[in-house]
Structure 1
């Protein structure tokens, strides 16, 4: 007597319902998946969720109309099977019984908790993954509309791959086959891509995985429902095939979430989408429908539903009057405008003369909008700063065990912050990179291919060193500061200007013009330093060289002799450099004595409070 290779599998109905039982078979269904049998007297949920695929819904309605599923006498309020029913796949069986979309390879389990997928030959089992497979332009044909959707499958050309390649083959074995079979017909880089794509299709994909494809500006989503099949197709466009249960409708590409668009923009025939699987799972469903879907799976109530978690809105909080008071900004509306510019463009530059508080404001604003300093990283540019310092590059590192030094690929501050921002659980939290003295570096050299990503946030690029496909996370914001006194801002090219919003901080306009007075008032000090600064800036013709208030907002200025000392050692040297070679008497024009004489109120200075 032959031994059944498959044990009995069980599936728990939603809301703590009873268990249904069934068996996997080796018989192939109409789309190439293995059929699954549910015997008589098995419980069936009476309700269905709105997202149940039409094909499963129609089958369920047919089984009920034929009396093969009927009201249950064993479980009041539920239905039950009246006879043995053979389904095309475990997922189809689970969908009919639970009334919702169902990954049967995971939800059907043995008595000791092992999923059905563990018993399938040749496949690599583990957590389910999501994939993009391109089929809209396979040697000039759109196979998605022509074959994939009508016939319920996904294919890969593999036009020269020999017959008899086994499912579950290792990457090294695939590499050897590609090297031999495509020896003179593909370039080195084409062979590298082929190895990755063939290995994914043959050995990493498995029944129950999500598969996506794009055609006619729409994204189509399905579930792989069987093992790989190798055929000799006449046109060599579909030599490798897998059965797929496609959803009924596609989704408009331009309406997809940005992080999904980023992954879909990667230019390979097979791309893993597992990092955005929760986003894919939630397409076309409301929060209530997602909650109903989750009920159809035995789920720990303390565990968050991934598709709902992925929908957490990214938000930049509205600046408050308290923040404006802390930063001594004249109007909260000015802060709100800066916040709106960041929200719209995601990159912003604060520019102005020295001492206008650009870096301080950038840090404080980022900490407020990001919810704390943990989401803020600061880097300072300088003339020798390069892409390898900023993003990634090879740097010498010592091996802690052998003490040998070797060059290893090392992430820079932007890559580190981008990786942190894109982690699951962090994607709804704003992260900020502050770039101080942005205009002191060679920006084209530092940003490299990242220039493109600053403008096209929904795209990805292939990185120079690691070869990874990379996109800037939607929740990563960049605030740069530029000093106008050194004139290097004039060298910033049009490409960079187009990618950033620019906000001026100047002693001639608010919030900078009245900042020192507001600070002196908050510290209960006399107004003379502010009057002197106003008089000084009135004598400086070039607005880019006017002096910012931060030089006079330090405790040392208000100790005995502190104002004179600061003026002599901090402010006058800046003006001497500005007027170098012009023969101007700096002390006579900008010195404290000359400025005090020009003040209309009194020849005597206002008292300065001691620290």
Structure 2
């Protein structure tokens, strides 16, 4: 009876008055508990645009036509109820009074500001969550269109599960029941997954939670408004159900935020979507509507609205003249093009001969675009580098207490950075993974199934070691460096070239060709080293083996005898290796004396 509950109050948006209501134990037609609002309660006159598509709006209009809601005689610019109105659920009541979609289990509050959900004894504690339940292909039937939307329900097939299983059943008990009831019909892993899904549906979901489903290339969204029930149904296809108030608006799957698509691509029948709950709450609502709804549920005005925060896209700042000057790049437009490639592709490789500043440029650019070194991680590939080093795998570790060594799951740098970038509050901040010498490892072996994720960022995959569902966050960017003298870019497989944008850093083109000359001018030094380098590279036919300027951009080069020492110990050995077996006199062709003579 309603007397078992205290009075509940609803704060109306825009600093409006509070309305009063009562919770009942009487069930409506679809299993929701009815909610009562008495006469003289305030109703906001204006409604938000998206609310006009809802069933609650149509009910509100009917109540106005019937005279049960009319202009208030005591509150200018407000409406009020003229008699007692029994609503099908607390959410329907809150939405009609506020003129926008509200979750009644959160927005109706007692005098001491406790939400309605705290008073429902059968509901598990904790915040409301969001869920995906699949129903578009249950033994060949689209239950979403056939049953869920028309009748206001969500169901889960459990045809072999014994009768009498109650809401709130523990996971261990469900595992035992599934093991017994499905003993010879499913595999071990299928039983484990079924127990997880049954536990989520029966014991973790609760009224006030958001539920989503997919049908016909669209996402449908609703609110769970009642407890789980076990019933007999046609052919035993769906005998677990919950009442749901489905929103009339559907959302094209291809237009959904990328992070939401990643979660929806997980191949299970029931999926916890709470990590992207803010994105779901914002679907179909403007920033202004979200702000009004936040005010209606008495959210802390000093805090940010999660749905608005979740909408922030990661933005790469515009390169500045100061950055171009620091990097000695000839033109900020070149940096802007690299920034745009990263924004579009999210994976980029800087390639060129040794000494062209690839790693330095990658690090400095990533620190600028990410807002600091905290958002940048560097790894270096080598021939023995493996998937277990990069993503995750079992590695021997010593227990600090027992000093015993055992194999334990270890997250690699990619997994660590992806987890950091995907944390709530970090999702709009760009994070960068720098892979130095990316072509020195067996890329197919190192990347594994991540090759797929690099191309399809809106998908997720199941990792083979941990079994976790994994996706690359939208704010994770990858910059690789590739030394073309070590292995030609032509040897990189087509799969990688399709997934990365390639930017050349070559002594024959800017920004590398004039880099040394600009550095010498900034340091106030003679331009002879730049002239010598230009002559040297003009004598090297293979562009992949031309010498970059960074060898000559060190203070030691300009001490007495430093240029000759650097030429003899750094540059000439590279060219000897390049011409190995050709019988060429390296000193006579590339030595300082020969180059200076040609300049003279």
After TM superposition, give the deviation of residue 399 of structure 1 in Å: 3.1
Residues 398-438 of structure 1 show CA distances to partners (whole Å, capped at 9, x for unaligned) of: 33334333322221111111111111222111111100000
After TM superposition, give the deviation of residue 318 of structure 1 in Å: 2.1
Residues 22-73 of structure 1 show CA distances to partners (whole Å, capped at 9, x for unaligned) of: 2222211121111112223333223222222521112112222222223334
Residues 358-409 of structure 1 show CA distances to partners (whole Å, capped at 9, x for unaligned) of: 0011111111211221211111111111111111112223333343333222
The runs of 5 or more residues in structure 2 that have no matched partner are none
The match for 1:40 is 39
After TM superposition, give the deviation of residue 300 of structure 1 in Å: 1.6
After TM superposition, give the deviation of residue 7 of structure 1 in Å: 2.7
The answer (yes or no) to whether the contact 1:123–1:167 under 8 Å persists in 2 is no
Residues 178-213 of structure 1 show CA distances to partners (whole Å, capped at 9, x for unaligned) of: 111111111122112111111111111111111111
After TM superposition, give the deviation of residue 296 of structure 1 in Å: 1.9
Alpha-carbon separation, structure 2, partners of 1:172 and 1:570: 66
Please list, as runs of the form range in 1=range in 2, the aligned pairs for 1:458-607 lying within 5 A after superposition.
458-487=458-487, 489-599=489-599, 602=600
The match for 1:609 is none
The match for 1:606 is none
Inter-CA distance 202–101: structure 2 relative to 1 (3 Å threshold) = same
The match for 2:48 is 49
Alpha-carbon separation, structure 1, partners of 2:582 and 2:133: 69
Task: Report the secondary structure of 2:160's partner residue.
Answer: coil
After TM superposition, give the deviation of residue 488 of structure 1 in Å: 5.3
The answer on 1:358 being equivalent to 2:383 is: no
The runs of 5 or more residues in structure 1 that have no matched partner are 603-611
Residues 508-565 of structure 1 show CA distances to partners (whole Å, capped at 9, x for unaligned) of: 2221111111111111111111111112112222211111110000000000110011
The match for 1:13 is 12
The answer on 1:262 being equivalent to 2:241 is: no
Task: Report the secondary structure of 2:520's partner residue.
Answer: helix
Please list, as runs of the form range in 1=range in 2, the aligned pairs for 1:306-325 lying within 5 A after superposition.
306-325=306-325
Alpha-carbon separation, structure 1, partners of 2:492 and 2:368: 29
The answer (yes or no) to whether the contact 2:2–2:23 under 8 Å persists in 1 is no
Alpha-carbon separation, structure 1, partners of 2:516 and 2:73: 82
Moved more, 103-112 or 350-359: 103-112
Aligned residues: 599
After TM superposition, give the deviation of residue 333 of structure 1 in Å: 1.9
Q: TM-score, normalised by structure 1?
A: 0.95
Alpha-carbon separation, structure 2, partners of 1:74 and 1:238: 51
After TM superposition, give the deviation of residue 141 of structure 1 in Å: 0.7
Moved more, 544-553 or 308-317: 308-317
The match for 2:114 is 114
Residues 272-325 of structure 1 show CA distances to partners (whole Å, capped at 9, x for unaligned) of: 111111111111122222222223221221111111111113222222233222
After TM superposition, give the deviation of residue 111 of structure 1 in Å: 2.3
The answer (yes or no) to whether the contact 1:100–1:296 under 8 Å persists in 2 is no
Inter-CA distance 74–126: structure 2 relative to 1 (3 Å threshold) = farther
The match for 1:27 is 26
The match for 1:386 is 386
The match for 2:202 is 202
Please list, as runs of the form range in 1=range in 2, the aligned pairs for 1:92-131 lying within 5 A after superposition.
92-131=92-131
Alpha-carbon separation, structure 2, partners of 1:45 and 1:31: 27
Task: Report the secondary structure of 1:235's partner residue.
Answer: helix
Inter-CA distance 80–282: structure 2 relative to 1 (3 Å threshold) = same
The answer on 1:77 being equivalent to 2:68 is: no
Moved more, 76-85 or 185-194: 76-85
After TM superposition, give the deviation of residue 594 of structure 1 in Å: 1.5
The answer (yes or no) to whether the contact 2:440–2:487 under 8 Å persists in 1 is no
The answer on 1:276 being equivalent to 2:280 is: no
Moved more, 237-246 or 115-124: 115-124
Alpha-carbon separation, structure 1, partners of 2:593 and 2:163: 94
Alpha-carbon separation, structure 2, partners of 1:421 and 1:563: 44
Alpha-carbon separation, structure 2, partners of 1:283 and 1:3: 34
Alpha-carbon separation, structure 1, partners of 2:474 and 2:105: 33
The match for 2:348 is 348
After TM superposition, give the deviation of residue 76 of structure 1 in Å: 4.1
Task: Report the secondary structure of 1:486's partner residue.
Answer: coil
> Where does structure 1 differ by over 6 angstroms across 4 or more consecutive aligned residues?
none
The answer (yes or no) to whether the contact 1:396–1:408 under 8 Å persists in 2 is yes
Alpha-carbon separation, structure 1, partners of 2:133 and 2:27: 23
After TM superposition, give the deviation of residue 113 of structure 1 in Å: 2.8
The match for 1:65 is 65
The answer on 1:139 being equivalent to 2:151 is: no
Alpha-carbon separation, structure 2, partners of 1:8 and 1:300: 22
After TM superposition, give the deviation of residue 461 of structure 1 in Å: 0.5
After TM superposition, give the deviation of residue 357 of structure 1 in Å: 0.5
Residues 71-96 of structure 1 show CA distances to partners (whole Å, capped at 9, x for unaligned) of: 33444433332222211111111112
The match for 1:607 is none
The match for 1:184 is 184
Alpha-carbon separation, structure 2, partners of 1:504 and 1:48: 56
Alpha-carbon separation, structure 2, partners of 1:171 and 1:454: 36
